[in-house]
Chain A
Amino acid sequence: MRHACLAFVLTLWAALAAAYEVEDHRLYPGTGEAVLRIVSTADLEVFEPYLLAYQASRPALSIDYTVVSSADLYRALRGGAAFDLALSSAMDLQFRLANDGFARPHRSDATAALPDWARWRDLIFAFTAEPAVVVLSTERFAGLTVPETRQDLITLLRDHPDRFRGAVGTYDVRDSGLGYLFATQEARSTDAYWRLSEVMGRLDPQLYCCSGQMIDDVTEGRLALAYNVLGSYAAERLARDSGGRVQILRMQDYANVMLRTAIIPATAQQVEAAGGLIDMLARLGLRDAPDDWPLPPLGQGGDAPFTGFGPIRLGPALMVYLDPLNRRAFLTEWENAMEQR
């Protein structure tokens, strides 16, 4: 217990030093002294089964799990915060960390089994492939045809401004790393993105930091539609309840597929334990059946190239929209579209 306290104090101190906001934190004490410090963007309730499974295989290991936003995770690691493993849904930020030398390499049979598109330089490893989806409330969509493409959605929003005013939600790309990644990739891939943003901007859109809150608001009827929600969360929530009040749509013209990635920060001390967890996640990422793990396997991303929507590529191109000039230009354009008061 004393170690746990010490770990917590150390974590707190590290958090203060690197100035990031801890959204959630939990310590899973083990029988030994070693503590694996994980910083992640995945909510505890989503990731807890993985942590428990890993701890079951290594009972001696204590696991210290900290949830932060992807932008904070990036800032913390660049600032030298001490973590043993960083899991994030913001591929571009993870890639930039690996590219700039903030990650250390890990090589094992499990990572070698990953397809080429799911790893980069033995520094960064993808273990889930999660699509961006549209979540809508069936109640508030009563009497309307469910849109299948962005063009359908644009037409729908344009034709029923009263019904959707103040009832459309999406990421605030200024705050959310994942939202920014989805938005930039979509802007690059389809010209419908900016038209859709314009239409949404006229409807007083609600901006969110996180997928969870968007889904909550759709379930409770406060939102008619949430755009660019991370599919895995939505699926998990829906499985739990909703009773048919929420419907999930995957756009047929184009859909982003995000790879959730892991890196071992250069500051890591429990390198071996971190590698072991990466190996477990990589093996789970390659499983065939979805099973009852909360996060989907990579397989969906692997099949996707045949349907035209591959996962976002892990490569230097991810750094393009992280460039401050590009980011400023993109945000300016996005604000112009979204905030037409």
Chain B
Amino acid sequence: MRSWSIGRRLTLLLAGVAALLSVLSWGMVTSLAQQAAERTQDNVLAASATTIAETLRSEQGEVRLELPYSAFSMLGAIGQDRVFYRVAAGPDLLTGYEDLPAPAGLATPGAVSFDTDTYGGEEIRMATITRLVLAGPGPVPVTVSVAQTRNGVARISAELSRTAALLSVAFFVVAVGLSAFAARASLRPLNEIAAAVSRRGPSDLRPLRRPAPQELEPLLSSLNRLMDRLGQSIRRSEDFIAEAAHRVRTPLATVRTQAEIALRTVGDETEKHRLRGIIRAVDESSRSAGQLLDHATVAFRAEDLSRDPVDLADLAVQTAAALEPTAAMKDIRLRVEAEPAQVMGDAVLLDNALRNVLDNAIKYSPEDTTVVLRVDTQGREARLTIRDEGPGLGDGPVEALTERFRRGANTGGIVGSGLGLTIARDVLQAHGGRLHLQTAEEGKGTCVTLALPLS
């Protein structure tokens, strides 16, 4: 199972934080709104009770008061709440609702106290103020209570809470959008590095040199170290192969010389035949070692390919000339039909590729036949075709023949390393060209085409 993407994880995490903050802020605004509405009601109730208490006076030993119009009209400010009141001098009711609940504590004169209670089946908030009025023999504590139901407060806080909820949802939506954007923005350097790595060619092991955020530097430097180690390891193994091939070739040359000398000195036919066998086997080993060296050369030079103008026609002529002696040994004629075709590339590698292909053609051709090298251009491509009259490629998959150490199905009796076509293919791929193999039209002979882009 694939683990979740960092981007999605980051977005979800940020969205979760935003949701939590939204809910928290909604809760806070709601409770603040409730408090504010309740405090407003308390203030209005206190003002009303105070206004009434201010009219308290004593006339002929009796406590008198009048309810000011404003004391009650201000109570309509918050909402449509029911209003109750009571004014009592000591234990005696002066006016108002007799059965209104009494305030909980005995308040100090002049101070307003608040109570929450139920009256007439509804929750009420009550403000009470006590004043001492000189009436009769001494001061009488007169208590003024003004009470109101709390529907207005509930309505105001519900409205504010609804508004806060809408705002919180809007905040959450915006925050989620920003989270997604932030996650994508913070992952951009990572994606850029990944893209830079995947853009590279298969053998490009140069270190990545690009500015990276501090957090990605360890990844980048370990990636670079890995590529460095990988490059070194590849170079070491190629060096080893080249060194090994070289070490094998030199003693082989000595063995061959000694065998030839022996061939000349012995007279017995059986001995001569045996010595010729030795020489042929040594030649094949030497060829294989040479190809291993070629392969290492190709791998090494392809890494840093030089691009010089090369004429394929010249190349064909020179290589054909170089292999002329080998061909002559089997009475094979090499015919070159070339017209100039200029390409950009490494002359040494191209020669290497052509030599391996031509060598194959000579090796698999029967005696007294002709191998044709043709150079022509087709569209934006230069083509070098080598055609022999050998047994062809057999029935196996054609493209598989270019794999390393892979040999055709019908090569019985002929020694070979299976590296020749691999070398040719690698050279052409390094030049942006391709190697094309097919059996000739008449069903006899092989046709190998080296196609390269024209310069």
Chain A positions near chain B (C-beta within 8 angstroms): 99-101, 120-121, 188, 313, 315-320, 323-326, 329
Contacts and interface: CB of A to CB of B under 8 A. Distances in A.
Given A99-B83, A101-B121, A320 B76 contact: no
Interface string B63-103: 01111111111011000111110000000001110000000
B66 A325 contact: yes
Given A100-B82, A317-B72, A325-B65, 12 more contacts: A99-B84, A100-B120, A101-B120, A121-B80, A188-B69, A315-B75, A316-B75, A316-B83, A318-B72, A320-B67, A320-B71, A325-B64
Contacts of B69: 188, 317, 320
B80 A319 contact: no
A150 to B, nearest CB: 20
Nearest to A101: B120
9 contacts: A101-B121, A315-B72, A315-B80, A317-B69, A318-B72, A319-B72, A319-B83, A324-B95, A325-B66
A315 B69 CA distance: 11
A324 to B, nearest CB: 6
Contacts of B68: 320
A100 B122 CA distance: 11
Contacts of A313: 73, 76
Nearest to B48: A316
Contacts of B66: 325-326, 329
A323 B97 CA distance: 10
Interface residues of B, number: 23
A65 to B, nearest CB: 30
A323 B96 contact: yes
Given A323-B67, A325-B66, A317 B76 contact: yes
Contact of B94 (A120, A319, A320, A325): A325
Contacts of B72: 315-320
A305 to B, nearest CB: 16
B67 A326 contact: yes
A11 to B, nearest CB: 28
The 7 closest A-B pairs by CB, nearest first: A317-B73, A315-B76, A316-B83, A317-B72, A316-B72, A121-B80, A101-B120
A103 to B, nearest CB: 11
Contacts of A320: 67-69, 71-73
Nearest to B87: A325
Contacts of B84: 99
Contacts of A324: 95
A341 to B, nearest CB: 26
Contacts of B151: 121
Contacts of B73: 313, 315-317, 320
Nearest to A318: B72
A101 B73 CA distance: 19
A320 B151 CA distance: 21
Interface in B113-133: 120-121
Interface in B271-326: none
Nearest to B146: A316
Interface in B46-70: 64-70
A99 B148 CA distance: 10
A100 B97 CA distance: 10
A100 B84 CA distance: 8
Contacts of B67: 320, 323, 325-326
Contacts of B70: 317
Nearest to B122: A101
A322 to B, nearest CB: 9
Contacts of A101: 82, 120-121
B284 to A, nearest CB: 108
B440 to A, nearest CB: 97
A326 B96 CA distance: 11
A120 B151 CA distance: 12
Nearest to A330: B66
Nearest to A317: B73
A188 B72 CA distance: 14
A338 to B, nearest CB: 20
A323 B71 CA distance: 13
Contacts of A317: 69-70, 72-73, 75-76
A117 to B, nearest CB: 11
B151 to A, nearest CB: 8
Contacts of B64: 325
Contacts of A100: 82, 120
A324 B96 CA distance: 8
Contacts of A121: 80, 82, 151
Nearest to B120: A101
A2 B69 CA distance: 51
B82 A99 contact: yes
A266 to B, nearest CB: 11
Interface string B406-445: 0000000000000000000000000000000000000000
Contacts of A329: 66
A317 B69 CA distance: 6
A326 B73 CA distance: 15
Nearest to B80: A121
Contacts of B120: 100-101
A229 B76 CA distance: 29
Interface string B185-201: 00000000000000000
Between A315, A318, A324, the greatest number of chain B beta carbons within 10 A of the residue's beta carbon is seen for: A315
A120 B95 contact: no
Contacts of A325: 64-67, 94-95
Contacts of A316: 72-73, 75-76, 81, 83
